[in-house]
A = this chain, B = another copy of it.
Amino acid sequence: MPRKPALSADASPWAPPGDRERERAAKREAVLRTAARFFNQKGFHATSLDDVANALNVTKPTIYHYFANKDEILFECTRRGLGAIIEASRKAAAQGGTAAERLRSVLMAYAMVMLDDYGICVARTQDHLLSEPSRKQFRALKREIDALIRQVVAEGAADGSLRIRDVRIATFTAAQALNGLGNWYNPEGPTSPEGAARQVVETLMDGLSAKA
């Protein structure tokens, strides 16, 4: 025989546990996104958690409900940026086609992340801003991205679809050019984020020289 439904308080002012989890996650994300924008605009040192709290209409203790300190917030922001690059690059690298085609996709995916708040935060965060344990993780994630791109570059040197003198230098050149995207891209200008990203990637792939 089916059990009777448990006593329930339909009109409870508390959201059910699943909703509360989602709400908590959404609030945590809002803190990170807002903090990333402040860090990007004012710099990490000049940003106070009061700035972030005020922008979200809460008080600083509310922020501490989600994060231990400003360092953790900065690290989490960069982790989101680096994580997005890793995920998008892996997907792009796993596509078919020549290594040159895959590199184009990887660089495009990378470029799009670098135009996002978290990507800009990655580009502007210098190692020494982070605490020692965060810095280690930050560097490990960066090395993972570097290895992902190098792999495709090396494959392109092998399959002849890329002309590579030095895998390491080619990888750094491409990554650094893309890291700068958020520094000069103007969202109010005539070019879409995707259009700007595509042009930088085409420039890197095809070069500035006209071909004879």
Chain A residues close to B by CB (< 8 Å): 41-43, 45-46, 100, 103, 124, 126, 128-129, 153, 156, 160-166, 169-170, 172-177, 179-181, 183-184, 191, 196, 199-200, 202-211
Asked if residues A164 and B208 are in contact (CB atoms below 8 Å), the reply is yes
Asked if residues A163 and B199 are in contact (CB atoms below 8 Å), the reply is no
Give the residue name and chain of the B residue nearest to A197 (CB).
Answer: B169
Contact A199/B43 with A156-B208, A207-B205 known, Cβ cut-off 8 Å: no
Asked if residues B210 and A196 are in contact (CB atoms below 8 Å), the reply is no
Q: Copies per complex?
A: 2
Closest chain-B Cβ to A77's Cβ sits at a distance in Å of: 16
Asked if residues A128 and B42 are in contact (CB atoms below 8 Å), the reply is yes
Asked if residues B42 and A209 are in contact (CB atoms below 8 Å), the reply is no
Give the residue name and chain of the B residue nearest to A186 (CB).
Answer: B168
Q: Which B residues lie within 8 Å of A166 (CB)?
A: 191, 199
Complex CA gap A172/B176 in Å reads 11
Contact A100/B162 with A196-B169, A200-B173 known, Cβ cut-off 8 Å: no
A174 in complex: contacting residue of B43, B163, B208, CB < 8 Å: B208
Q: Which B residues lie within 8 Å of A206 (CB)?
A: 163, 207, 209
Asked if residues A210 and B163 are in contact (CB atoms below 8 Å), the reply is yes
Query: 5 tightest A-B contacts by CB?
Result: A176-B180, A207-B207, A177-B177, A43-B128, A163-B210
Q: Which B residues lie within 8 Å of A163 (CB)?
A: 206-211
Q: Which B residues lie within 8 Å of A211 (CB)?
A: 163, 211
Asked if residues A129 and B43 are in contact (CB atoms below 8 Å), the reply is yes
A172 in complex: contacting residue of B126, B170, B180, B207, CB < 8 Å: B180
Give the residue name and chain of the B residue nearest to A107 (CB).
Answer: B208
Asked if residues A203 and B173 are in contact (CB atoms below 8 Å), the reply is yes
Asked if residues A209 and B172 are in contact (CB atoms below 8 Å), the reply is no
Q: Which B residues lie within 8 Å of A45 (CB)?
A: 45
Complex CA gap A126/B42 in Å reads 10
